Structure 1
Amino acid sequence: MQSPVRFSSCRGVTFEINNPHANPFAVTERSISKRLWPFASNSKVFPSFSVQRSTSRASSHFCDLDLDDDEENDEALQSLQEEDNNNDVEKQQEQEKPFAKPAVPPAAAPKKSDMRLSVILLDQGLFTVYKRLFTVSLILNIIALVVAATGHFPYARKNAALFSIANILALILCRSELFLRLVFYLAVKILGRSWVPLFIKTATTSLLQSVGGIHSGCGISSIAWLLYALILTLKQRDNTSPEIIAVSSAILGFLCISSLAAFPLVRHLHHNVFERLHRFSGWFALALVWAFVILRISYDPTTKSYRNEVGKALVHSQEFWMTVAITVLIVAPWLTVRRVPVRVTSASGHASIIKFEGGIKAGILGRISPHPLSEWHAFGIISDDKKEHMMLAGAVGDFTKSLVANPPTHLWVRQVHFAGLPYLTNMYDRVLLVATGSGICVFLSFLLQPCKAEVCVLWVTKGVEQNFGKEIKEMMSGHSKEKVIVHDTAVLGRPNVSEMSVNAANNFGAQVVIVTSNPQGSRDVVNACKANGIAAFGPIWDS
């Protein structure tokens, strides 16, 4: 059994896997029927099959709320899980005494960096849509670059810098929250009809979830094109100026810094470093791109001097208009940054509820920050689309812990919220939403406000009212048993979430399953559903 790790995704969403506290052993159907979730008369704990131990841990995409730090119990569980794979008889004996001291010390835990890297590289498979999009965008650029270098693509050879800027525009579009919000809206509006074939909807969902692959592929390609342009420029120094060469070299340097900071392992081991380097390197590179465009257009190689009047030449320059588009896409979200009053409450020391004014549509996520230029954190939004909305933040990092210890009165927000995977729920007719821990927050809006899809929410968590508060408990209560299924691990023990998801999807007749859990848990649920012929999606490390 692997040691627990904590890491955060590039979009500020924190993942954590902790050792379990609830009884991890099998619970029979009979025992479940006698111990229903205590505060919901209409909701139910899923009773149609025996609940067994899960190989995935109940946790959340946004934070983890497995709250016990009892090392003795953790070691016992590790030892027992290793013995389970070898001897069924010993397993039954250990179930009768779940917290006995292990006879054999647990195996040494692998290094955290190894575990993180394996999660990143193997996240939902080796040939995911994300990795395919990355490969395709990179290969297409390499082919064009090779053809240009061999003299068979004279336009690209003459305008290599233009191709670099075009790749920068493409990668910015794939990360522009304004642009993607529009794309997600059009996808739901156009494809969210019953007569649209399911395979088209699922293919679109895969594509929109994985556009980060294009972002990464175009990022590397922009460096390759700029390096090629710089080599050609150095070969023809008589036709350019030292200033243009210097600016081009500086742009190349900042792009390399930004790309290296985004290397998967760096992002997860040093997320704040990544965020700052990636952001500020990009901004410096953009400023230098403007300098490059103006210098290049105004330079006259025949007189070896700069022209004073370049307005007309700029208007007719493709580089100019691409740089304008890049600037608008980068600057626009920052123009919506505001410092707003918030109300922060905490039912326990493990999670906080942050309330804001204004209603928000279901499936939308938002970003908040204590210091707008240093770090931003993304959370799912809970709202009935009326007077207010809220975020549920598990205390797993310095910022989220500070929300509990020292609740702020104001936070910085981006008023342009962005659409994520949950927003595409509206594209389907019947959807099973699976959440563990505080991952439930992004799904609660589908229970609080009308939406196009019929949804069933399956929530695996621990100590609902104790850890999340009475308000969250009331939001989950009062729904029909076809609408809400809650498994409280404090009462019923740890289940097999993958098996529960497959059974719930079949019983509900879901077209698709959307899950928010830790990377391993999400992967387990997605793979189990796909193995049973059910389309399923979960967060990926670069979603």
Structure 2
Amino acid sequence: MVSEKRSAESSQTTLNVVPLTPAESRAAELAKEVVDSTAASSVADHKSELASVEEKGNVWDGYLDDDLPEKTNGRLVRNLRFQIFSLYRRLFGIVFITNMGIFINEAVRGTNAKHLGTITIANLFVSILMRQEYVINAFFTVACAAPLSWPLWIRRILGRVYSIGGIHSGAGVSGTVWLILFVAQATREVIRNEQTSVATLTISYVILVLLVGMVIFAYPAFRTKQHDSFEATHRFAGWTAVALVWAQVVLLINDYREPGTSLGNAVVHSPTFWLVLILTCSIILPWLRLRKVTVKAEVLSDHAVRLHFDYVNTHPGHFTRMSHSPLTEWHSFATISVPGTQGYSAIVSRAGDWTKQQIENPPKQIWIRGIPCYGVVRVVPLFRRVLLVATGSGIGPIAPVVYANRVPLQLLWTAPNVRKTFGDKIVDSLIEANPNAVIYDTRKHGKPDMVKLTYRLVREFNAEAVVIISNQPLTEKVVYGMMSRGIPAFGAIWDS
């Protein structure tokens, strides 16, 4: 529970104690019964109050009859702006188009393999660093440091900091395209018996096959259907490629080093060597923090379990990666931190074989990799008044923001059999932290029209922004429904 209960203390001083008469004793007993009855009634009233808050007098009554305002801009413009050209895709486009402009120039002008290799490595360097936990946290920290006095149009742009994955994928795809040109140029040089060696070219072909495979498996549609294959390919093909890049870089430097210059001297004076060194350290760093930690499992129902950890404290917006098999699979979960409480917890709901195992056979220990990393709900403090929307176990990322209560919040949580599924403790703690919370039981009231219900609460709470954690289709629907009507809305993306 978020609230703390204080026990009353009393001190008694006995001076000239006079025995009570039978009548006085009976009066004292009656008085005690009245006090006990009042206390019990107070507890009952409190529980009744918590339960009634869930219904909020059915604030959603008649919401289906509400008229939604017209969407802004024309249909083509808003679809291009909010769906086809999301900020993630715009960042991807900027990185890729800029690279292709330089690519065409280099291809027409003609340049040697060494120069093309440097450009290729530079792109892979950017791609890898955009997925480094310290870099991600730095982006969020800087973006979310903007004061509330700044104009909303600036803060709503900063709120999309989680779209930096577009830089990651844009640089990764660009690096692969540059590698194709590098291999073509290296092949030409080998055929002409110029500087590039056969060994360098052979390794480059292997790297190209690995990177093309990674790009194919990372395509959103394929990644969603074959997520395990995507993870395995990205991890093992990526590690193999990095190892081969080291060999490629050293061989290429040796191919182009000036006569009389030692290989060691040529290596330390090469920009590609330092880029590869830094990107390699970036990949290794999270694995240096790999640990097996103790976990206390609290089974909430046959649909959810809450895992408690005490090895580190987290902040609202953080998520961590968990695994029982560190080399083969990892699962990300939002951390639930309660102010004044050591450690954090995470809600795992049934969504597949791995999550089913955690519920039916709760773990006592689990592997954790890297440091807690920020996600989308970190942007909440950028806005003056925020409507938080969660469906089902999406309450996990939302809960710590509610507990922290840094800005005025309104919570909307929809889920089937809320108390039965997630337990009284979580439900009551959220209501105490956010008394105006609206908890909508879909088993009792049916599935709501989330766009209309969200808009009603935005209007009633006068929210400046909406943050939603749900499944992909509903998240995209609500975010588009709000953004197309001029209301800043933020939700997880599945493209990075």
Question: TM-score per shorter chain, which class?
Answer: 0.7 to 0.9
Provide, for residues 180-235 of structure 1, a one-character-per-residue CA deviation record: whole Å limited to 9, x for no partner: 1111112112x1x12211111111222x2222222222222111111111111121
Q: Which has the higher helix share?
A: 2
Following superposition, the deviation at residue 527 of structure 1 comes to: 2.1
Where in structure 2 are there 5+ consecutive unaligned residues? 1-46, 67-78
- Partners of 2:257 and 2:263 within 8 A in 1: no
Question: Larger Cα Rg: Structure 1 or Structure 2?
Answer: 2
- Partners of 1:149 and 1:157 within 8 A in 2: no
Alignment of 1:502-513 (within 5 A): 502-513=455-466
Partner of 1:253: 209
Q: 2-side partners of 1:126 and 1:141: how far apart? A: 21
Q: 1-side partners of 2:367 and 2:117: how far apart? A: 37
Q: 2-side partners of 1:143 and 1:542: how far apart? A: 24
Following superposition, the deviation at residue 37 of structure 1 comes to: 9.4
- Partners of 1:180 and 1:418 within 8 A in 2: yes
Partner of 1:230: 183
- Partners of 2:91 and 2:166 within 8 A in 1: yes
Following superposition, the deviation at residue 537 of structure 1 comes to: 1.4
Partner of 1:319: 272
Q: 2-side partners of 1:403 and 1:53: how far apart? A: 42
Partner of 2:250: 294
Provide, for residues 269-316 of structure 1, a one-character-per-residue CA deviation record: whole Å limited to 9, x for no partner: 11111101111111111111111111122236788xxx8942222221
Q: Does the residue aligned with 1:434 lie in a helix, a strand or coil?
A: strand
Q: 2-side partners of 1:37 and 1:377: how far apart? A: 38
Q: 1-side partners of 2:94 and 2:258: how far apart? A: 41
Tell me: CA distance 1:308–1:515, structure 2 relative to 1, closer, same or farther (3 Å).
same
Partner of 1:428: 383
Relative contact order, higher structure (CA 8 A, sep 6+): 1
Q: Does 1:210 align with 2:166?
A: no
Provide, for residues 97-131 of structure 1, a one-character-per-residue CA deviation record: whole Å limited to 9, x for no partner: xxxxxxxxxxxxxxxxxxxxxxxx99962222222
What TM-score, normalized to structure 1?
Answer: 0.75
Following superposition, the deviation at residue 530 of structure 1 comes to: 2.1
Q: 2-side partners of 1:469 and 1:311: how far apart? A: 63
Q: 1-side partners of 2:188 and 2:460: how far apart? A: 68
Tell me: CA distance 1:497–1:165, structure 2 relative to 1, closer, same or farther (3 Å).
same
Q: 2-side partners of 1:269 and 1:48: how far apart? A: 36
Q: Does the residue aligned with 1:352 lie in a helix, a strand or coil?
A: strand
Partner of 1:346: 299
Q: 2-side partners of 1:210 and 1:428: how far apart? A: 18
Following superposition, the deviation at residue 542 of structure 1 comes to: 2.2
Partner of 2:144: 188
Q: 2-side partners of 1:199 and 1:124: how far apart? A: 15
Provide, for residues 155-201 of structure 1, a one-character-per-residue CA deviation record: whole Å limited to 9, x for no partner: x8751111111110111122112211111112112x1x122111111
Q: Does 1:446 align with 2:446?
A: no
1:243 to 199, 212, 218: 199
Following superposition, the deviation at residue 481 of structure 1 comes to: 4.0
Q: 2-side partners of 1:209 and 1:339: how far apart? A: 28
Q: 1-side partners of 2:338 and 2:389: how far apart? A: 20
Of 177-186 and 37-46, deviating more is: 37-46
Q: Does 1:40 align with 2:51?
A: yes
Amino acid corresponding to residue 356 of structure 2 in structure 1: K
Partner of 1:466: 420
Q: 2-side partners of 1:315 and 1:299: how far apart? A: 15
Partner of 1:530: 483
Q: 2-side partners of 1:345 and 1:423: how far apart? A: 26
Amino acid corresponding to residue 265 of structure 2 in structure 1: K
Q: Does the residue aligned with 2:300 lie in a helix, a strand or coil?
A: strand
Partner of 2:495: 542
Amino acid corresponding to residue 90 of structure 2 in structure 1: R
- Partners of 2:318 and 2:375 within 8 A in 1: yes
Q: 2-side partners of 1:198 and 1:126: how far apart? A: 23
Provide, for residues 473-497 of structure 1, a one-character-per-residue CA deviation record: whole Å limited to 9, x for no partner: 2222324543x22112233332222
- Partners of 1:53 and 1:495 within 8 A in 2: no
Tell me: CA distance 1:127–1:166, structure 2 relative to 1, closer, same or farther (3 Å).
same
Provide, for residues 324-373 of structure 1, a one-character-per-residue CA deviation record: whole Å limited to 9, x for no partner: 12112111111111111111222221111111114311111111111111
Tell me: CA distance 1:127–1:415, structure 2 relative to 1, closer, same or farther (3 Å).
closer
Following superposition, the deviation at residue 42 of structure 1 comes to: 4.7
Tell me: CA distance 1:441–1:308, structure 2 relative to 1, closer, same or farther (3 Å).
same
Tell me: CA distance 1:165–1:222, structure 2 relative to 1, closer, same or farther (3 Å).
same
Q: Does the residue aligned with 1:541 lie in a helix, a strand or coil?
A: coil
Partner of 1:147: 105
Partner of 2:366: 411
Following superposition, the deviation at residue 421 of structure 1 comes to: 0.7
Partner of 2:350: 395
Q: 2-side partners of 1:168 and 1:295: how far apart? A: 18
Amino acid corresponding to residue 449 of structure 1 in structure 2: A
Q: 1-side partners of 2:483 and 2:279: how far apart? A: 39
Q: 1-side partners of 2:256 and 2:370: how far apart? A: 45
Amino acid corresponding to residue 91 of structure 2 in structure 1: L
Q: 2-side partners of 1:49 and 1:421: how far apart? A: 30
Amino acid corresponding to residue 40 of structure 1 in structure 2: A
Amino acid corresponding to residue 180 of structure 1 in structure 2: I
Q: 2-side partners of 1:50 and 1:374: how far apart? A: 50
Provide, for residues 47-81 of structure 1, a one-character-per-residue CA deviation record: whole Å limited to 9, x for no partner: 16514499xxxxxxxxxxxxxxxxxxxxxxxxxxx
Q: CA RMSD in A?
A: 2.6
Amino acid corresponding to residue 178 of structure 2 in structure 1: W
Partner of 1:110: none
Q: 2-side partners of 1:329 and 1:485: how far apart? A: 43
Partner of 1:518: 471
Following superposition, the deviation at residue 533 of structure 1 comes to: 2.0
Where in structure 1 are there 5+ consecutive unaligned residues? 1-35, 55-120
Partner of 1:166: 122
Q: 1-side partners of 2:272 and 2:256: how far apart? A: 17
- Partners of 1:344 and 1:352 within 8 A in 2: yes
Q: Does the residue aligned with 1:236 lie in a helix, a strand or coil?
A: helix
Q: Does the residue aligned with 1:299 lie in a helix, a strand or coil?
A: helix
Aligned structure 1 segments of 4 or more residues deviating by more than 6 angstroms: 121-124
Q: Does 1:278 align with 2:234?
A: yes
- Partners of 2:128 and 2:282 within 8 A in 1: yes
